[in-house]
Amino acid sequence: MPRQFPKLNISEVDEQVRLLAEKVFAKVLREEDSKDALSLFTVPEDCPIGQKEAKERELQKELAEQKSVETAKRKKSFKMIRSQSLSLQMPTQQDWKGPPTASPVMSPTTPVLPGATSQPTPAPYAMPEFQRVTISGDYCAGITVEDYEQAAKSLAKALMIREKYARLAYHRFPRTTARYLGHRRVDAAPPEEGLPDFHPPPLPQEDPYCLDDAPPNLGYLVRMQGGILFVYDNKKMLERQEPHSLPYPDLETYTVDMSHILALITDGPTKTYCHRRLNFLESKFSLHEMLNEMSEFKELKSNPHRDFYNVRKVDTHIHAAACMNQKHLLRFIKHTYQTEPDRAVAEKRGRKITLRQVFDSLHMDPYDLTVDSLDVHAGRQTFHRFDKFNSKYNPVGASELRDLYLKTENYLGGEYFARMVKEVARELEESKYQYSEPRLSIYGRSPEEWPNLARWFIQHKVYSPNMRWIIQVPRIYDIFRSKKLLPSFGKMLENIFLPLFEATINPQDHQELHLFLKYVTGFDSVDDESKHSDHMFSDKSPSPDIWTSEQNPPYSYYLYYMYANIMVLNNLRRERGLSTFLFRPHCGEAGSITHLVSAFLTADNISHGLLLKKSPVLQYLYYLAQIPIAMSPLSNNSLFLEYSKNPLREFLHKGLHVSLSTDDPMQFHYTKEALMEEYAIAAQVWKLSTCDLCEIARNSVLQSGLSHQEKQKFLGQNYYKEGPEGNDIRKTNVAQIRMAFRYETLCNELSFLSDAMKSEEITALTK
């Protein structure tokens, strides 16, 4: 059956939710405006008087509830469901594949009510015994049954919405979460089915630049309608407006789904519930660490050959134009000046300019340059000043040197930049255990950007087995429009995506681009998130074809249209047996909390995610959906958030899927191994254990665009299975105790949602 985008029939409830979402958006905008003047200062957000009054109201509500007979019945049924859930989550001795222990843990008898649906259970797995923390008694103490039920059902609905968009775009969604949401087809499908499809690396004897394996042309036609590219089998189908059978997104459905999430993040009972659960997760990890730290360490010590230094680590968020450190750039500039000063490197008004003349025009001698005079490192002056940070990409403040050394399109065809990238790649290959995912820019000014970038990649032989490439699209339409380079936002989208569709449909006619796309694993959306936009994205927003003003579209507008085209493209490429792409935008570094709502629907994973700290509902949703987050504390320390206040450690303890990344080594790092510098500083500042560091490293490989075959080699044959069963300690150096704790904790949190979803049926049966 062909995959189709499920459209919603808009109900009165949906319309009310949409109105509520508009109020939420307006409130967020007002808060942004009021905080702008105080952005450099730390202002406590919580009011003690307000907190006290809120607690008193909750207490009165709970006392009133205790007197209700109906509530007592429902609470009793919840307890019965809960006891069943807990008994099924605890692995019994018979389930263990490991050696029997002296004191087996026996599961309590499972109460099953007639007609009740069975509770999903974690799969059996091999693991050593460790000390668990369990909570007995009134499991929803401190929150009323009505509030718990409302919050849990709302969270489950949000996760189902996320799953819908993830599956349509071939993004990842945890099988465990899907199973607890009641999707039986998940158990029937093979575990590998939901994995992204990345091209495996060429074998040592194969040529990574071979152009002979392109599949045949199909001759389909592509046309843009409303900012989304539609595929047609032939001219006749185009005239009849019958597109090829692919899932094409529906804007009205998407905006209703987004409204549900926007309304949810301000819902009082849901905020209270999520806040309590997140506090519980953090406290539970502290207890786990206290009880099992030595057991985890003992497990790691008994693991031969493997330690933190020789587990694979991937730099999941790094920009190619800043992938070298400042000393490397300085050394390269001096080397080129010493070896080829009379080489023509630019052309101005028909006259060729040599490297020596470039430096003479800047009144400088490269011999006298130092890292300080190069001035590419971010410092105190860049804090909350993204404009000053962007200028750091210009060595010595000269845009001429940036164009010459850090661009792919210039008089030399990007040769100097390619040579520097290859030097960085060579260092990664020598380290053996470090990988990188550099971002290359496509601006959307012209459709020729793609062929030029592919030609640069092949001509300069930039391929490295330790690098996978991501394409970043800067959100700077307003600049191009003001310079009359683009007629509309729709034209920018067409320039970005049409060449990809053409290379997918007719690869024989675009062999270089087809080859380059094998090594591209995803797309990123980048720019200063703190830029203010007062336009709320909705189904009433102007379509990209008629967005002709010089005003920049809002963040959520960019994300939807990028996701929509990536989704259609992925389905077309999957149909052709080609690799697919992930959408991995910068999100939650600054600006509005609504950015994280858009990413929750559209992104496979995000970079930064700092603003999750401000929204307990979104933070809990990102935990339940295990959305990967690439965090860069050193980058944030220079731009938006002091290192000590960075939430990475807190997120790690709670169980969010975090990894460490460098962002821009040229601006933020001092050593040749920037990623190891990032790990070392995090370990020292937050006193992270070896198991913590190896867990972060394992997360980075899972988040990355490395192929299925590479992940099997680096993480183990069953890496795609969730929990301890998917962990091979011989390769990851992550203790099985830690993996079991993470898996059981996630199952426990998800069981609260599934219990609430079954509550009405159980209540009816017990009457």
Describe the crossing of helices 145-168 and 268-301 by its angle, rounded to 10 degrees.
Answer: 70
For position 93, what pLDDT does the model report? 39
Please give the pLDDT value at position 450.
Answer: 96
- Give the pLDDT mean for 323-341: 91
* % of the chain exceeding 70 in pLDDT: 78
Please tell me the distance from the alpha carbon of residue 732 to that of residue 713, in angstroms, as a whole number: 10
The span from the CA of 736 to the CA of 690, in Å, is 14
Question: Residue 635 to residues 247, 383, 698: CA-CA distances in angstroms?
Answer: 38, 10, 22
What are the start-end ranges of the H helices in 460-519?
477-482, 489-505, 511-518
The model's pLDDT over 391-415, given as tens digits with 9 standing for 90+, comes to 555 676 777 888 888 899 989 999 9
Which is the catalytic residue, given 317, 460, 608, 669? 608
> Worst-scoring range by mean pLDDT, 4-13, 59-68, 287-296?
59-68
Q: Which residues contact 757 (CB under 8 A, 6 or more apart)?
A: 152, 153, 156, 182
Strand order through the sheet with 582-583:
313-319, 434-441, 469-474, 520-526, 582-583
3-state secondary structure of 353: strand
- The Cα 243–Cα 501 span in angstroms is 14
Contact (Cβ atoms closer than 8 angstroms) between residue 198 and residue 711: no
Tokens of 11: 């109900």
Question: What DSSP assignment string belongs to 225-243?
Answer: ETTEEEEESSHHHHHTT--
> Which pLDDT tens digit goes with each residue over 52-75?
666 666 666 665 655 565 566 655
Average pLDDT for the chain: 83
- Is 608 a catalytic site residue? yes
How far is it, in rounded angstroms, from Cα 88 to Cα 100?
19
Q: What is the DSSP string of 688-717?
A: --HHHHHHHHHHHHHHS---HHHHHHHH-T
pLDDT of residue 5: 76
Share of the chain above pLDDT 90, in %: 57
User: Which residue is associated with the tokens 């019945």?
Assistant: 73
pLDDT confidence bin for 50, thresholds 50/70/90: low
Given a contact cutoff of 8 angstroms between Cβ atoms, the answer to whether 451 and 497 are in contact is no
What's the whole-model pTM score?
Answer: 0.87
In terms of Cβ atoms closer than 10 Å to its own Cβ (0-12, 13-18, 19+), residue 94 is: exposed
For 642-682, write each residue's pLDDT tens digit: 899 999 999 999 999 999 999 889 888 889 999 999 999 99
Closest by CA position to 734, among listed 692, 683, 706, 705: 692
More confident residue, 203 or 121: 203
Question: Taking the chain, what is the end-to-end CA distance rounded to the nearest angstrom?
Answer: 42
Answer positive or negative: Cα dihedral of 168, 652, 659, 701: negative
Ramachandran region, residue 139 (left: φ > 0; alpha: ψ -120 to 50; beta: rest): alpha
Return the half-sphere exposure (C-beta side, CA atoms, 13 A cut-off) of residue 169. Answer: 29
The SS3 assignment for 577 reads coil
Q: Taking 90 as the threshold, does the pLDDT of residue 434 lie above it?
A: yes
Is the predicted pLDDT of residue 120 greater than 70, yes or no?
A: no
Is-contact 332 415, C-beta < 8 A? no
Give me the helix-helix angle, 616-624 and 145-168, nearest 10°. 60
CA–CA separation, 50 and 46 (whole Å) = 8
Structure tokens at 140: 């929803």
Please report which residue ranges of 615-660 form alpha helices under DSSP H.
616-624, 633-639, 648-654
Under 8 Å between Cβ of 655 and 623: yes
The identity of residue 411, as a single letter, is Y
DSSP assignment of 265-293: TT-HHHHHHHHHHHHHHHHHHHHHHHHHH
Question: Burial, 530: exposed, middle or buried (Cβ in 10 Å; 0-12, 13-18, 19+)?
Answer: middle
Pairwise CA distance, residues 157 & 617, whole Å: 13
pLDDT band at 639 (very low <50, low <70, confident <90, very high): confident
CA Rg value for the chain = 27
Query: SS3 for 102-151, per residue?
Result: CCCCCCCCCCCCCCCCCCCCCCCCCCCCCCCCCCCCCCCCCCCHHHHHHH
State mean pLDDT over 458-482. 94
Residues whose CB falls within 8 Å of the CB of residue 740, separated by 6 or more in sequence, listed in order: 125, 127, 130, 723, 724
What angle separates helix 736-766 from helix 616-624, to the nearest 10 degrees? 110
Query: pLDDT: is 112 or 330 the higher one?
Result: 330
Q: What pLDDT sits at residue 109? A: 31
